[in-house]
Amino acid sequence: MSTATTPALEVSDLELVYRVRGIDRPVLRGVSFAIERGRSYGLVGESGCGKSTVALGIVRYLPRNGRISAGGIAVAGQDILALGPRALREYHARTVSMVYQNPGAALNPALRIGMQVAEAFTVLGKGRKEAYERAREALARVQIADPSSVMGRYPHQLSGGMQQR
């Protein structure tokens, strides 16, 4: 149950393993932090220390050989590890997403920005016209100058910061 004091994200004693050649190899142990609503949080560390693995665990995008072996993840008070397949699809569609370090690699270079952003709204059940309007509004919300023009551009025509937004 989410309340005004419930953290937006709470990770508690998270442990994660990758199964390699039939053996579970621990890669995260005892990771805990909470992010309050309206606040930012920086997860920093050396290359290879597990920052991306923590993020992949939070959004439940782990590879097939990865699994959370202990701990908990709650988003707005909801236990993310208890989600079944249908609820997990809803979680991905409406609650969380990833912003990759190299956003250009996450975008399809052959499709215009408008089509790619609108796709998120069509997945949510919006018709094509409404999806495009919502996409334009989303670009405006993240402070993209002239969102109507940007909708017609390809990813390589945007700066890295615009691609991330």
Task: Kindly report, residue by residue over 35-78, the tens digit of the pLDDT.
Answer: 999 888 888 989 888 998 999 999 998 999 999 999 999 999 99
Task: Report residue 123's pLDDT band, with 50, 70 and 90 as the boundaries.
Answer: confident
Measure CA of the first residue to CA of the last residue in the chain; give whole Å: 30
pLDDT of residue 78: 93
> CA torsion 146→149→151→156, rounded to 10°?
-100
